[in-house]
Amino acid sequence: MEHELWFTALLNRLLAGPVVSLLGLFGIHPESTSHPIPNPVAMQVLVVLIILALLGWLRGRLSVDRPGKVQQLFELMVEGLSGQSEEIIGHEGTRFIPLVFTLAVFIFLCNVLGVVPTLETPTDQIYVTVGCALVSLVYYHYHGIRHHGLLGYIRTFMGPVLLIGPLMLVIEIVSHMARGLSLSVRLMANMVAGHNITMVFEERIFGLLAPIPFEGLHIFVGALQTYIFVLLTMVYLSGAVSEEH
C-alpha cells in the first residue's frame, strides 16, 4: 500500500463508508474498505477545494476601481486566454473561456501541488491525466455536434470526396483517439520526469539544496504543460466548430 498522505487519511476517515458504497454500485471493490481513496484522488479533491475557496474569497473582494493582486492575476489569465482563443477559434472563441480557464487552473494547481511538503502531484498518474483529456475531448465533440448537428459533424470526418469518406471516417476516429492519448501521456510523462529529476538531485547529489532550483523548474514545467494542454484544447475546438471542411 502506498504511503497515505495526511489529507488522504482525513478523507478516508470522513468518507470511507460512502465511497465504498458508491463504488459497490458500479461493481468496484477496493482492496481496503477503510482506505478506499488513493492519494491522487485526494489531491484532486484538495485542488478543487482550493479553487472553490479561492474564488469564493475573491468574489467578495472584486473591485473595479482598486482590484487586488489576486484579481489582477485572474484577470490577466482570462484576458490572455480570451486573446488566444480569438486568434485560434475566432470571435466566438470567448464563449469557451469558462471551461478552458477552469481546466487551466485545475491542471496547473495539480501540476505544482507536489512542491508543497506533505502533498503530491496527482498529474503524475495516467488515470488523472486521462480524465483531464476526456474532459477536453468530450467538450469539443459536444460543441462540434451542437454547431453542425450530429450528421453534419460526422460528415466533417469524411473529407470532401465521398468515395473515400468511409476510409477517412475511420482515420479521423483513430486520430481523435490519439489526441486523447497524446494529451494524457504528455502531461503525465513530464510530471513524472520532473519529479524523478528532483528526487535524484536531492537524494544523491545536492541534498537539501536541490529543491531550491529544481522545484522552481518543476513549477515552470507545470505552467508550460498547462499552457500546452489548454492550447491544444483550443485548437481542437477550432476544428470542431469550423465551417471549413
Q: What pLDDT score was predicted for residue 245?
A: 47
Q: What pLDDT score was predicted for residue 97?
A: 93
CB within 8 Å of 122: residues ≥ 6 apart: 39, 40, 41, 43, 44, 47, 110, 113, 128
Burial of residue 235, with CB atoms counted within 10 A of its CB: 0-12 exposed, 13-18 middle, 19 or more buried: middle
**What average pLDDT does this structure show over 213-228?**
86
Q: Tens digit of pLDDT for each residue in 75-108?
A: 999 999 999 999 999 888 889 999 999 999 999 9
How does DSSP assign the chain, residue by residue? -PPPPHHHHHHHHHHHHHHHHHHHHTT---S-TT--S-HHHHHHHHHHHHHHHHHHHHHTT--SSS--HHHHHHHHHHHHHHHHHHHHT-GGGGGGHHHHHHHHHHHHHHHHGGGSTT---GGGSHHHHHHHHHHHHHHHHHHHHHHH-HHHHHHHTS-S-GGGHHHHHHHHHHHHHHHHHHHHHHHHHHHHHHHHHHHHIIIIISGGGTHHHHHHHHHHHHHHHHHHHHHHHHHHHHHHH-S--
Q: Per-residue pLDDT for 209 more than 80?
A: no
**What average pLDDT does this structure show over 108-136?**
93
Average pLDDT, the chain: 88
Q: What pLDDT score was predicted for residue 207?
A: 52
Q: Per-residue pLDDT for 110 more than 70?
A: yes
Q: Per-residue pLDDT for 63 more than 50?
A: yes
Q: What pLDDT score was predicted for residue 67?
A: 83
Say what percent of the chain tops pLDDT 70: 91
Q: What pLDDT score was predicted for residue 206?
A: 54
Q: What pLDDT score was predicted for residue 163?
A: 80
- Local confidence band at 12 (pLDDT 50, 70, 90 cut-offs): very high
Residue 197 CB coordination number (10 Å): 15
Q: Per-residue pLDDT for 202 more than 70?
A: no
Q: Per-residue pLDDT for 113 more than 60?
A: yes
CA atoms within 13 A on the CB side of 29: 1
Q: What pLDDT score was predicted for residue 204?
A: 57
Query: Which conformational region is residue 149 in: left (phi greater than 0), alpha (psi within -120 to 50 degrees), or beta?
Result: left
